[in-house]
């Protein structure tokens, strides 16, 4: 085993999150590479990465880098992740892993054959309340599972001026709402319930026309919402709604699992709590209380994300300090 030495590819929204995660986990940030040199430069300075590079090829040729984080738009996931695997790097590739199932399978097979670590950040798995929910299902607290249901709703593409590369199929892939956030919901459902979705029937809809860069209204080729019913391999039925045009829902992931004895409900807008439903009495289990299953604490360090405190607490310290601090600085440090 060797320490993590990361290169972040794509320095946008999630690239920042990856870079901070590397530092928070005592990894080394070797470089950040973005197609826009000013973005690479700004991130390398802000996050104090070791160096700026001018191309993805330079990242792959850099012997210091042992882990590549692919944080670019979806159509680049397959070529970039495959090139990183070919170069013998470990890879964390953002979701959706690829824009077609064939590409995703090819990546899985290549990573297996190369023996590299390959991961997709389905981050909702790491909420303590989700771990708690999973432990309750695994421990048969709910009894036989009867119904799986929920939704993933956002509203950031509601307006006709709202736009993003995800809307364009050649950048985001043929599916947008499902490929972008539906994959999170399905992963969470399968992770918590232990069930695999085997069959489904879906209806997708595009509800909006959007303004292009010139301000003209144009047709949108990717779906805004998907409503689907499904059945798992062992015959449990369910349904879900995925939407990026639901007003007032900034990022609402709700997962409900109804069993023969009791039910659980997780809502990402209140991630420190898990609702437990029963005929006699309902209750809410808060993270950090003794009622929360011990499994809940496995992945979330109380020091890093204390229960009841919103957001993540991060303190970034400078990597280098002056070798000869001025006398008055030294004095104030002792005070
Ligand atoms: N796991 C999660 O919860 C989560 C959350 C948000 C986004 N994502 C995924 O992360 C990826 C990026 O999303 P985002 O919201 O950060 O997008 P973004 O638009 O904020 O950032 C994308 C960045 O990639 C850069 N880029 C484009 N082409 C490039 C190239 N050829 N080489 C290098 N850099 C290039 C862009 O300049 C931009 O800075 C998407 O696949 C998205 O699905 C995952």
268-286 pLDDT, tens per residue? 999 999 999 999 999 999 9
Contacts for 280 with CB less than 8 Å, ≥ 6 apart: none
Which has more confidence, 172 or 309? 172
**CA of residue 273 to ligand 1 center, whole Å:** 30
Alpha-carbon distance values, 206 to 122, 217, 252, 305 (Å): 26, 14, 20, 38
Rounded to the nearest 5°, which phi and psi values hold at 218?
A: -130, 160
This prediction's pTM: 0.90
Identify the band that residue 332 occupies on the pLDDT scale cut at 50, 70 and 90: very low
Residue 213's pLDDT band, with cuts at 50, 70 and 90, is confident
- Residue 317 confidence (pLDDT): 53
Compute the distance from residue 335 Cα to the ligand 1 centre, in Å. Answer: 44
Any idea how long the chain is?
335
- Between the CA of 9 and the centroid of ligand 1 the distance, in Å, is 8
CA–CA distance, 320 with 333 (Å, rounded to integer): 16
| pLDDT tens column, 246-255 | 999 999 999 9
95 lines ligand 1 (CB under 6 A): yes
Report whether pLDDT(214) > 90. no
Tell me the helix, strand and coil percentages in the chain, rounded to 5: 30, 25, 45
Residue nearest to atom 5 of ligand 1 (CA): 14
83 close to 33: Cβ distance less than 8 angstroms = no
Question: Ligand 1 mean position to 272 CA, how many Å?
Answer: 28
Give nearest CA residue, ligand 1 atom 7.
14
Could you tell me where the DSSP H helices lie in 160-304? 169-172, 177, 183-193
Alpha carbon of 97 to those of 78, 116, 186: distances in Å? 7, 16, 14
What distance in angstroms lies between residue 117's CA and the mean position of ligand 1's atoms?
A: 21
pLDDT for residue 1? 85
Domains of the chain: 2-121+315-321 (3.40.50.720), 124-297 (3.30.360.10)
Residue in the structure block whose two tokens are 């995660």:
21
Ligand 1 atom at minimal distance to the Cα of residue 76: 31
| Sheet with 273-277, edge to edge strand ranges | 197-205, 225-232, 237-243, 145-153, 252-259, 263-267, 273-277, 283-286
Q: What confidence tier does 212 reach under pLDDT thresholds 50, 70, 90?
A: confident
Once rounded to an integer, what is the mean pLDDT over residues 200-212? 91
Question: In this predicted structure, what is the pLDDT of residue 319?
Answer: 56
333 alpha carbon – ligand 1 mean position (Å): 41
Greater model confidence, 45 or 144: 144
**pLDDT at residue 64, as a whole number:** 97
Determine the Cα angle at 203 with ends 237 and 137, to 5°: 25
Residue 106 or 316, more confident: 106
**Binding site membership of 179 for ligand 1 (Cβ less than 6 Å):** no
* Those residues with Cβ within 8 angstroms of residue 59's Cβ, 6 or more apart along the chain or in another chain: 7, 9, 31, 33, 53, 65, 68
Burial class (CB in 10 A: 0-12, 13-18, 19+), 322: exposed
Most confident of 161-165, 215-219, 275-279, 283-287: 275-279
Task: Say which residue, 300 or 144, is predicted with more confidence.
Answer: 144
Mutate-to-test residue for ligand 1 from 12, 44, 177, highest number of ligand atoms within 8 A of CB:
12
Please work out whether the CB of residue 173 comes within 6 Å of at least one atom of ligand 1. no
Q: 121 CB less than 6 Å from ligand 1?
A: yes
Establish whether residue 53 lines the binding site of ligand 1, counting it when its CB lies within 6 angstroms of any ligand atom.
Answer: no
The verdict on the CB of residue 34 being under 6 Å from ligand 1 is yes
Q: Transcribe 26-54 into DSSP letters.
A: T-EEEEEE-SSHHHHHHHHHHHT-SB--S
Q: 9, 14, 57, 178: which to mutate for ligand 1, most atoms within 8 A of CB?
A: 14
Look at residue 265 and tell me whether its pLDDT is greater than 90: yes
Interval between CA 248 and ligand 1 midpoint (Å): 24
Q: Which pLDDT score, from 0 to 100, does residue 333 have? A: 45
Residue 65 pLDDT more than 70?
Answer: yes
Q: What is the mean pLDDT of residues 38-59?
A: 92
pLDDT at 295 over 90: no
| Of 145, 134, 157, 152, residue with least CA distance to 297 | 134
| Atom 43 of ligand 1: nearest residue by CA position | 95
Residue 261, pLDDT > 50, answer yes
Local confidence band at 320 (pLDDT 50, 70, 90 cut-offs): low
Distance 73 CA to ligand 1 centre (A): 5
How far is ligand 1, taken at its centre, from the CA of residue 316, in Å? 23
97 CA distance to ligand 1 centroid (A)? 12
Integer Cα distance of 146 and 137 in angstroms: 12
Distance CA 308, CA 153 (A): 24
């Amino acid at each position: 085993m060797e320490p993590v030495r990361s290169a972040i590819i794509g320095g946008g929204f999630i690239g920042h999150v990856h870079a901070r995660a590397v530092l928070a986990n005592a990894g080394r940030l070797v470089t950040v590479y973005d197609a826009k040199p000013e973005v690479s430069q700004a991130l390398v300075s802000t996050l104090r990465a070791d160096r700026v590079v001018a191309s993805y090829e330079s990242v792959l040729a850099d012997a210091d880098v042992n882990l590549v984080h692919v944080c670019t738009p979806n159509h680049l996931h397959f070529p970039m992740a495959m090139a990183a695997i070919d170069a013998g790097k470990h890879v964390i590739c953002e979701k959706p892993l690829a824009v077609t199932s064939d590409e995703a399978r090819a990546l899985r097979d290549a990573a297996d054959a190369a023996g590299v670590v390959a991961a997709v950040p389905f981050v909702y798995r790491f909420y303590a309340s989700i771990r708690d929910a999973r432990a309750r299902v695994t421990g048969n607290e709910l009894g036989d599972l009867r119904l799986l249901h929920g939704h993933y709703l956002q509203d950031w593409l509601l307006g006709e001026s709202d736009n993003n590369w995800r809307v364009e199929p050649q950048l985001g892939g043929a599916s947008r709402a499902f490929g972008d956030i539906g994959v999170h919901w399905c992963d969470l459902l399968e992770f918590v319930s232990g069930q695999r979705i085997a069959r489904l029937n879906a209806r997708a809809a595009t509800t909006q026309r959007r303004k292009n860069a010139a301000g003209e209204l144009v047709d949108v080729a990717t779906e805004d919402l998907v409503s689907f019913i499904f059945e798992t391999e062992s015959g449990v039925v369910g349904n879900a709604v995925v939407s990026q045009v639901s007003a007032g829902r900034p990022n609402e992931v709700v997962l409900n699992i109804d069993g023969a004895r009791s039910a659980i409900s997780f809502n990402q807008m209140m991630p420190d709590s898990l609702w437990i439903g029963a005929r006699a009495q309902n209750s809410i289990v808060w993270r950090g209380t003794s009622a929360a299953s011990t499994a809940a604490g496995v992945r979330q360090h109380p020091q890093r994300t204390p229960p009841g405190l919103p957001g993540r607490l991060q303190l970034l310290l400078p990597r280098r300090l002056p070798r000869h601090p001025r006398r008055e600085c030294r004095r104030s440090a002792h005070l």
